[in-house]
Amino acid sequence: MTGIPGNTIMPNDLLIFLRISNQTRKNSLRAATKLEWGVGIFFSTLTLLFFAGIGAGLWRFFGYLENVPYIGEALAIKVISMAFLSLFSMLIFSSMVTSFTTIFFARDLPFLLSTPLEYGTVFTYKFIETAFYSSWMVIVAMIPVIVSYGIVKHMNILFYFTTFGVMIPYCLVASGLGVLISMVLMYLFPTAKTKDAVMVLSVVVGCGMYVFLRFLEPEQFMKPDKLTEIVQYLNFIQAPTAVYLPSWWMTGVVKGFALHQPVELWFYSLLLISSGLLTIALITKLSEVTYFTSWARAQESVGKRPVVGGWGDRTVDLLLHLFPQSWRALAKKDLKLFFRDPNQWTQLLLLGALIVVYIFNIDKLPLDNYYLKNIAAFFNIGLAGFVISAVALRFVYPALSIEAESFWVLRSAPLSSRQIVWSKYWLTFLPVFVLGLAISVVSNLLLRVDTFVFWLSTGAVIVSIFALTGLAMGMGAVYPRFRVENVAQVESSFGGIMYMVYSLFYNGFVLAVLAWPLIMHFKVLSGMGKYSAQVTVSAVLTVAGVSVLVFIIPLIIGVKRVELMENE
């Protein structure tokens, strides 16, 4: 070995890493409490049931296509190829984003690169880690597709082994491409800001695509009168999808088995395996030239100073002027942290895209009947409730957890638990309130509902916003997660899932109770009944009463929990 670490990959050293990873996993399992095991088993069962459900649905779907003459077979292959294509592009994207954290900014890199390990070994280990983290979910997502198709086509065990086997090089090629992009970017712009810029760009492009695809109105293609050329349609489904991409090669393997085409099967299998190996060779070769240089230069980059005292700060100062000093301090701090972290503020872009598409969907509802429009507005209460729950899970629920390890600053300050929880509540309540009100009022206006339904649904949505945000804040305080890498881990924790379950129950309850005055209203309009103020008032009071409880009880428990947390 020479004095300077080189780029050779040392298999023995790689094995050490794999052994350590394995040991870490074993220790985590051993250290898990009974509650953690219980939660783990609960969610695993839930996930299994979910995938089983998807698989059953796909089995019916493929079974149906099997009996459709002429186009059934081609359509099934088309669906599989589209699934592989979507996952391939998602995999490139997720590997690119993950690789910034794992390959260039991982916390253990200063230690690893200070040891006499070959840089090539460190890079390969990090690449394997990236490929694993980005790919396992893709493989899991494809299980119901492959298994249901295999059952319909009466495939033998060799089909499953081969298909899932060649998915490994398929994932490696996609991960390799993602990592390749990040390597080039980090070589050209070796700074932590590159990671942020890629993230922001991805969210902007993602939101743009989401809105654009919705504006294309894909449902129009399902209408027979829109299919001017049936031959064109047949050509489309029979043509291969992106023939030069591994997603089509994967489809080729599946097709080779299903249609008994051994040449195609062997060709695409070997193509995938050789491409996987070639990708690894290519990126490890590139890493020899770029990896250490990029990493070292990224260490030297100095962050840009934030703009202080600009119009944003002045506006916040003005808006918060009337609030108490400590509340103002917390709010200003939280706003600064939010708008300086691209992981956080880009969520507002997603929120914007969500509102646009939501309202567009309402506008495009094919309703030309007075009753249908009013019924749609009524069911919109439930849909809006669901959207509010999802947004509250993103903004309100993690409000306390994002204090992370800096929570000691607030704990040792003269702030009561009530002040901490409520100040965070009001601050995060605002975006949810704006969203909820916007989707409710605009939907009602677009649907041209009558005054009774307008106020019933708008009132219900306003009350739901309070209840669902109170529930989110309270549960977020009861189940805080201070030691997480990112906010997504807070949302997907046990408390986050339970919040979604409770909020679904609440939304269902609101709809069930308010259906009562709505039915009465329709009966009055059609001359089949009389208006009863008692029905309306009792339904509204029931919803309001339960909503007050859903709002206040979790917040009281949350405040108490933070208080106890300080004394534990």
Partner 1 sequence: MIKTVGLTKQFNRTLAVDNLNLEIADGEIFAYLGPNGAGKTTTLKMLLGLLKPTKGYALVGGLDPQKDPMKVKHMTGLVPEYPYLYRKLTGFEYLNFVADLYHLPKNDIDRIPEVLKTFGLEDWMYDMVESYSHGMQQKLALSAIVLRQPKFIFLDEPLIGLDPLSQRKMREILVGLAKKGATILICTHILEIAEKVCTRVGIINKGQLTHIGTIDELRKKADTDAASGLEDIFFKLTE
Q: Which is nearer to partner 1, 385 or 480 (CB)?
A: 480
Shortest Å, Cβ 338 to partner 1: 9
> Rule CB under 8 A: is residue 302 a binding residue for partner 1?
yes
Q: How would you label 55-84 residue by residue, b for 16+ Cβ within 10 Å and e otherwise?
A: beebbebbeebeeeeeeebbbbbbbbbebb
Q: Which is nearer to partner 1, 214 or 328 (CB)?
A: 328
> Rule CB under 8 A: is residue 333 a binding residue for partner 1?
yes
Q: Which is nearer to partner 1, 74 or 329 (CB)?
A: 329
> Rule CB under 8 A: is residue 193 a binding residue for partner 1?
no
- Give the C-alpha separation, 439 to 416, whole Å: 35
Shortest Å, Cβ 126 to partner 1: 22
Shortest Å, Cβ 320 to partner 1: 11
Determine which residue in the list 21, 89, 326, 489 makes contact with partner 1, applying CB under 8 A. 326
> Rule CB under 8 A: is residue 408 a binding residue for partner 1?
yes
> Rule CB under 8 A: is residue 497 a binding residue for partner 1?
no
CB atoms within 10 A of CB 268: 22
> Rule CB under 8 A: is residue 196 a binding residue for partner 1?
no
Amino acid identity at 375: I
- Give the C-alpha separation, 123 to 104, whole Å: 9
Q: Write each residue from 410 to 449 as x if it is in contact with partner 1 (CB under 8 A), else as -, in one continuous string.
A: xxxxxxx---------------------------------
Among 295, 395, 415, 303, residue whose Cα is nearest residue 350: 395
> Rule CB under 8 A: is residue 310 a binding residue for partner 1?
no
> Rule CB under 8 A: is residue 405 a binding residue for partner 1?
yes
Cα→Cα distances 312→16, 142, 332, 337, Å: 51, 46, 11, 13
Shortest Å, Cβ 29 to partner 1: 21
Amino acid identity at 251: T
- Give the C-alpha separation, 392 to 503, whole Å: 10
Q: Which is nearer to partner 1, 160 or 323 (CB)?
A: 323
Determine which residue in the list 214, 336, 523, 560 makes contact with partner 1, applying CB under 8 A. 336
Shortest Å, Cβ 196 to partner 1: 12
- Give the C-alpha separation, 229 to 219, whole Å: 17
Candidates 124-132, 392-400, 492-500, 560-568; binding stretch for partner 1 (CB under 8 A): 560-568
E strand segments, 336-428: none
Candidates 110-118, 265-273, 304-312, 386-394; binding stretch for partner 1 (CB under 8 A): 304-312
> Rule CB under 8 A: is residue 319 a binding residue for partner 1?
no
Determine which residue in the list 305, 485, 533, 534 makes contact with partner 1, applying CB under 8 A. 305
> Rule CB under 8 A: is residue 157 a binding residue for partner 1?
no
- Give the C-alpha separation, 295 to 72, whole Å: 52
Candidates 2-10, 94-102, 401-409, 549-557; binding stretch for partner 1 (CB under 8 A): 401-409
Task: Note whether 170 and 250 are within 8 A (CB).
Answer: yes
Q: Could you tell me the end-to-end alpha-carbon distance of the chain, in angstroms, rounded to an integer?
A: 53
Q: Which is nearer to partner 1, 229 or 568 (CB)?
A: 568
DSSP summary character for residue 240: P
Task: Note whether 350 and 207 are within 8 A (CB).
Answer: yes
Instruction: Find all residues with CB under 8 Å of 197, minimum gap 6, and list them.
Output: 189
Catalogue the long-range contacts made by 104-107 (C-beta closer than 8 Å, 24 or more residues apart). Answer: 104/182, 104/186, 104/195, 104/294, 104/295, 104/298, 105/192, 105/195, 105/298
Instruction: Find all residues with CB under 8 Å of 229, minimum gap 6, and list them.
Output: none
Q: Which is nearer to partner 1, 290 or 326 (CB)?
A: 326
Shortest Å, Cβ 324 to partner 1: 9
CB atoms within 10 A of CB 541: 11
Candidates 30-38, 180-188, 270-278, 399-407; binding stretch for partner 1 (CB under 8 A): 399-407
Shortest Å, Cβ 304 to partner 1: 9
Point out which residues bind partner 1 (CB under 8 A).
302-303, 305-306, 308, 325-326, 328-330, 332-333, 336-337, 340-341, 404-406, 408-416, 566-568
